[in-house]
Structure 1
Amino acid sequence: MKPKSISQIIKENYSSLSQGQKKAAEFLTLHREEGVLLTAFQLGKRAGVSETTVIRLAYALGFKGYSDMQEALRRNWLEKKQGAGLEELPAELKQPNETSIFSSVIEKETSVLQQLLMQVDEGEIWKTVDHFIQSDRIYIGGFGSSYGAAYWLHYTLKLYRDNVALSSPAGFSLEDILDLNQNSAVIIFSFPRYRQESLELAKCSQAQGATVIAITNRQFSPVGQLAEITLTTEEELDSGDHSIASVVSLLEVIMEGVKHRDQDRISLRQQKLEKLYTDQELFLE
């Protein structure tokens, strides 16, 4: 079995950490490249906590000491870097001018997608794929600016399976989630500025027994902390606002997995859809 990543270990233990330990843990998650080089004292200074707090964090996460935790962090970072086969990301993007503004946007999106490739956890992706296939019903929540990605997933997933529902951009009703149970999955999109409705949907869905899958920008976003599965898009990038390109790319990865594992059922459903499209003369070509 593949060893758990530092992010997974931190997430599993996050609720039991002290406030100081949480600050150090978040710093490690957001700045893994720095973390592999810093001493406990240096890390504590960068995270705004004491050296003792950093050492206690290592014990709280199940390591024998700080050096043991740092070695695990180093291994995890190297595996991601080697697996992606990428050059080191630039420390900062060049300031765009009038003639380069469009190319700077493309460079930024390229950096975001490279980061997504490095941080993606295949195990968590396949768990999500299985929930998309096996759940009796799926409810998708996205509020405010997160609604666009939620709608994309809703439209695409309905081509592949039945019993898929979508929230409105402004919220959800309790009637929407009344029939959720332990065999259901709720997908919640949550990006800054985080909406209160996302947290409420996660709590209500878990009370119904459903599995909550968060698609967010970092493991320790409000919804990310609660979800059974948290998929992130820009974990180590300070991009100011989230990139819709990275969100849709992550969704396309998931949907490719769904097609791979459920191709027979999807094929039958799409044959029925094509007949309906033809009967209704829906498309011009």
Structure 2
Amino acid sequence: MSSDSSEPKETFGPASTASTASTTGSAKPPPPAALAAKVRTLAPSMTRSMQRVAETVAGDPAGSAALTVTGLAERTGTSEATVVRTARVLGYPGYRDLRLALATLAAEQAAGRAPAVTADIAVDDPLAGVVAKLAQEEAQCLADTAAGLDTAQLESAVAALATARRIDVYGIGASHLVGQDLVQKLLRIGLIAHAPTDPHLAVTNAVQLRSGDVAIAITHSGRTTDVIEPLRVAFEHGATTVAVTGRPQGEIAQYADHILTTSSARESELRPAAMSSRTSQLLVVDCLFIGVAQRTYDQAAPALSASYEALAHRHDPRPPHR
């Protein structure tokens, strides 16, 4: 069997159990249909050898499911330790669990229930083809995010938001636009929410947060300093913290009480990560909002009605009664 000198040795006895627990936590393994999305999301943060394993199992689930851990290590030019480590990073307790998921995914693909991978958008694609590819990719992005979303974490985040004294939402660029979308929704049901536009203001706002407040960080990469820093400050001041991220093992995770993982389409020259991740972030934002509106319905329903009425009057072309 070929070895991978870039990877440290890994034991498979009791010592590795703790490692598994710390990597996967109490989260259940992702469903087979979400495996390709998981690979796309986590591959950039993996070592090259782990990327080879991940891309191989996602690209050929049937062939990979037929291999033992030794066989897959030989096929990818890595080590058994790398294969096991990759399985754990993808959310499976071990290779046996990943292998079962691969077999299920292969059966779904054979039956036509699992979607094919969408081709990248090319510079010479006709506009009709671009529309079709974008529609398929975004639909798959939403499906992948829904399949991989930890509903226990979502419930906890919703519960914290529903009773929050104050809510801060941090994001940069496209993620900030998603944060603004959440804030305007929360304001319309009577909650106090802010989405600072300036990173320094975000930190100074975070200093004011306490127990009973909530801070939400939105970052696809999980390593945006201008988003991590205010979340860290909020976390250290006792606020409940939530991370909406495509990299659940990124730096952002160490300051998040609850992690909501998003998926994204493959990044390409004409479709950057900020564009592809926005779709799944908006889904998570909508889930948070609906969950909070359900929990606070007696307050939320009249507030929404009042905002609808105010907007209707604003757009009424008739002059006001004198």
1:98 aligned onto 2:126: yes
Identical positions, percent: 18
1:197 aligned onto 2:226: yes
5+ residue gaps, structure 1, are: 8-21
Pair 222,281 (structure 1): closer, same or farther in 2 beyond 3 Å: same
CA shift for structure 1 position 43 = 5.8
Name the residue aligned to 1:283.
Answer: 315
- The match for 1:130 among 154, 159, 175 is 159
Name the CA distance, whole Å, in 1 between partners of 2:134 and 2:85. 42
1:89 aligned onto 2:118: no
Root mean square deviation, CA, Å: 4.0
**What secondary structure does 1:127 align onto?**
helix
Name the CA distance, whole Å, in 2 between partners of 1:107 and 1:261. 33
Name the CA distance, whole Å, in 2 between partners of 1:30 and 1:231. 23
1:270 aligned onto 2:270: no
Name the CA distance, whole Å, in 1 between partners of 2:57 and 2:163. 34
Residue 250 of structure 2 aligns with an amino acid whose one-letter code is S
Name the residue aligned to 1:18.
Answer: none
CA shift for structure 1 position 53 = 5.3
Name the CA distance, whole Å, in 1 between partners of 2:226 and 2:196. 10
**What secondary structure does 2:248 align onto?**
coil
Name the CA distance, whole Å, in 1 between partners of 2:293 and 2:52. 37
CA shift for structure 1 position 161 = 2.8
Once the two structures are overlaid, the 10-residue window that deviates more, 38-47 or 96-105, is 38-47
Counting matched residue pairs gives 259
Name the CA distance, whole Å, in 2 between partners of 1:29 and 1:227. 26
Q: Which protein shows a greater Rg?
A: 2
Name the CA distance, whole Å, in 1 between partners of 2:258 and 2:75. 29
Name the CA distance, whole Å, in 2 between partners of 1:183 and 1:62. 34
The TM-score, its normalising length taken from structure 1, stands at 0.71
Residue 296 of structure 2 aligns with an amino acid whose one-letter code is D
1:238 aligned onto 2:266: yes
Name the residue aligned to 1:258.
Answer: 292
Deviations 1:43-64 (A, max 9, x none): 657888632355578899996x
1:119 aligned onto 2:148: yes
Once the two structures are overlaid, the 10-residue window that deviates more, 140-149 or 94-103, is 94-103
CA shift for structure 1 position 40 = 3.2
CA shift for structure 1 position 273 = 4.4
CA shift for structure 1 position 102 = 2.3
Whether contact under 8 Å (1:58, 1:66) holds in the other structure is yes
The TM-score, its normalising length taken from structure 2, stands at 0.64
Name the CA distance, whole Å, in 2 between partners of 1:46 and 1:171. 49
Name the CA distance, whole Å, in 2 between partners of 1:138 and 1:49. 46
- The match for 1:5 among 23, 28, 31 is 28
After TM superposition, list the pairs within 5 Å mapping 1:208-219 onto structure 2: 208-219=237-248
Name the CA distance, whole Å, in 2 between partners of 1:206 and 1:212. 6
Name the CA distance, whole Å, in 1 between partners of 2:256 and 2:51. 17
Deviations 1:88-117 (A, max 9, x none): 131342655124322222222122122223
Name the CA distance, whole Å, in 2 between partners of 1:205 and 1:131. 14
5+ residue gaps, structure 2, are: 1-25, 31-45, 318-322
**What secondary structure does 1:231 align onto?**
strand
